[in-house]
Amino acid sequence: MKTLRPPYAEAVTEADVHAAALQYVRKVSGFRQPAAHNQQIFDEAVERIAAATRELLDGLVVRTPGRSTTAEPGSGSVPHH
């Protein structure tokens, strides 16, 4: 899983956030693709994890080592739909 915050990622897309959420849910559930009877809860989990990831990235303040400046809150944000 790649890091989704500055300085490791300049621009984080909605696709990046969704991919990270999907990878997390797959790892935790042990399913690459859930059975039909688990699809809804699987998809809901991916969306909730993606929302939590957006919230985290929007709230992070990243201090650059050796510099006195900080990133503005939300600098790692992604577009919301």
pLDDT tens digits for range 43-57: 999 999 999 999 999
The pTM score is: 0.72
- pLDDT given at position 61: 87
In angstroms, the CA 53 to CA 74 distance is 12
Crossing angle of helices 39-59/14-29, nearest 10°?
130
pLDDT digits (tens, 9 = 90+) for 23-40: 999 999 999 999 999 999
Q: Residue length, the chain?
A: 81
pLDDT digits (tens, 9 = 90+) for 57-81: 999 887 776 544 444 555 555 555 4
**Could you give the 3-state DSSP secondary structure of residue 18?**
helix
**What sign for the dihedral angle of Cα 25, 30, 35, 38?**
negative
